[in-house]
């Protein structure tokens, strides 16, 4: 067996084992099935997202739509906060992640941190129209330094409802770093908020 095939087999086996473990966790906490099908072993972009965030040496990081906290677990910040609207996934994240990450049920409206170095919102915003994203983000601009989001190429075969270009950020934030984080047809963009 070639090394490439062996590595591919190991990776596939790892993903399968991780999915079984998350399915067990889901049976206890009842969170959305997507989380059980999406371990980090199947979503390596999470490492790249953490690298983008870590590149600005943040002290306070907030992720809205944090799921099980896989991105936050890879971020080097003194204070990490994760919000998700799925109460089951928040309970599970509290169990499996470091107590140094604070998890709370909610979305953008529940973010209470007075100063945020980096606000992360990736993977899920494409279920909502740009006007809704603008309304959610606008009240937070005065409290955040950086915003990290993902931009899906409209030619992607994924079934997203919306393909944000974040044009509504013009005049509010400027892109300072972009990476595909190993993903095809998707870029992760770190914006610096303009004050």
The domain spans of the chain are: 1-42, 43-193
Instruction: For residue range 71-88, list pLDDT tens digits in order.
Output: 999 999 999 999 999 999
Backbone φ and ψ for 116, nearest 5 degrees, come out as: -125, 125
Mean pLDDT for 138-157 is 92
Average pLDDT of the chain? Answer: 92
Instruction: For residue range 151-175, list pLDDT tens digits in order.
Output: 988 877 777 788 888 999 999 999 9
Please name the residue that has the structure tokens 């409290």: 143
Backbone φ and ψ for 114, nearest 5 degrees, come out as: -70, -30
- pLDDT at residue 157, as a whole number: 76
What's the pLDDT band for 7 if we cut at 50, 70, 90? Answer: low
Q: Is 154 left (phi over 0), alpha (psi -120 to 50) or beta?
A: alpha
pTM of this prediction?
Answer: 0.92
CATH fold label, 43-193: Rossmann fold (3.40.50)
What's the pLDDT band for 58 if we cut at 50, 70, 90? Answer: very high
């Amino acid at each position: 067996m070639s090394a490439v095939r062996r590595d591919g087999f190991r990776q596939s086996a790892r993903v399968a084992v991780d999915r079984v473990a998350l399915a067990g966790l889901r049976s206890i906490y009842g969170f959305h099935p997507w989380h059980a099908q999406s371990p980090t072993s199947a979503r390596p972009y999470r490492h790249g997202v953490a690298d983008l965030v870590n590149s600005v040496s943040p002290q306070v990081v907030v992720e809205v739509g944090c799921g099980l906290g896989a991105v936050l677990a890879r971020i080097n910040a003194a204070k990490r906060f994760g919000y998700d609207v799925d109460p089951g996934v928040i309970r599970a994240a509290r169990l499996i992640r470091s107590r140094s990450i604070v998890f709370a049920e909610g979305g953008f409206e529940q973010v209470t941190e007075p100063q945020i170095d980096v606000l992360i919102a990736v993977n899920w915003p494409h279920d909502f129209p740009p006007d809704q994203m603008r309304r959610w983000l606008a009240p937070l601009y005065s409290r955040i330094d950086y915003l990290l989001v993902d931009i899906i190429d409209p030619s992607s075969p994924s079934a997203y409802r919306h393909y944000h270009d974040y044009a509504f950020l013009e005049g509010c934030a400027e892109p300072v770093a972009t990476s595909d984080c190993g993903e095809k047809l998707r870029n992760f963009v770190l914006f610096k908020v303009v004050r």
